Chains A and B, each alone.
Chain A
């Protein structure tokens, strides 16, 4: 079974803090994605990566950065957390091309 894990299930941070969300997949997938999900807005793509050290902006990259130093790991970084970044963050991975994405369990982030 494909496994996508996220480092934290629930996080509480203060405004201005730097936040790291980690995602690891164990299926040697090329593609990895970070989304946020908010009520009424569905899933929105923040960043994605098709290869190690490669990243592309999604639909809402502002306020976020990412890092992919190893194939299995894709990190989402909030340089200075703000209250409007309170959300559910989902990581996903897939093989090359347009393939089924496997989602991690999600990290619910609360920024106070």
Chain B
């Protein structure tokens, strides 16, 4: 059965800390892994990863994929209160039919001033 597992489920840190969020997956015919940040309504797209070992970076956020070990990490350095959100990981599968996007349940990050 295809699945995406995120850890930890929740995390509380102080401003300035560095955090690492984990996403592991078992998905048939992997195509890509996506990270989203969800604050209020809709998740906001952060990264799409398709190749192992290539780090994607945007400001204080970075992410990398390991297709051999089937996981990805999302790093946030020098955290700010505005980073408080739920971070979702999703894996896209390259298979026919509708069920080709699998979401984890998210990691809730709280950044305390």
- Name A's B-contacting residues (CB within 8 A): 8-10, 33, 35, 37, 41-45, 48, 58-59, 88, 90, 98-103, 105-108
Contact = CB atoms under 8 A, between A and B. Distances in A.
A106 B36 contact: no
A35 B34 CA distance: 16
A44 B88 CA distance: 14
Interface string B15-50: 000000000000000000010101111111100000
Contacts, number: 58
Given A42-B34, A42-B36, A48 B101 contact: no
Contacts of A10: 97-98
Main SS of chain A's interface residues? strand
B42 A33 contact: yes
B98 A107 contact: yes
Given A98-B86, A100-B86, A43 B99 contact: no
Contacts of B38: 98, 101
Contact of B98 (A45, A59, A106): A106
A106 B99 contact: yes
Given A44-B42, A48-B41, A58-B42, A102 B105 contact: yes
B45 A43 contact: yes
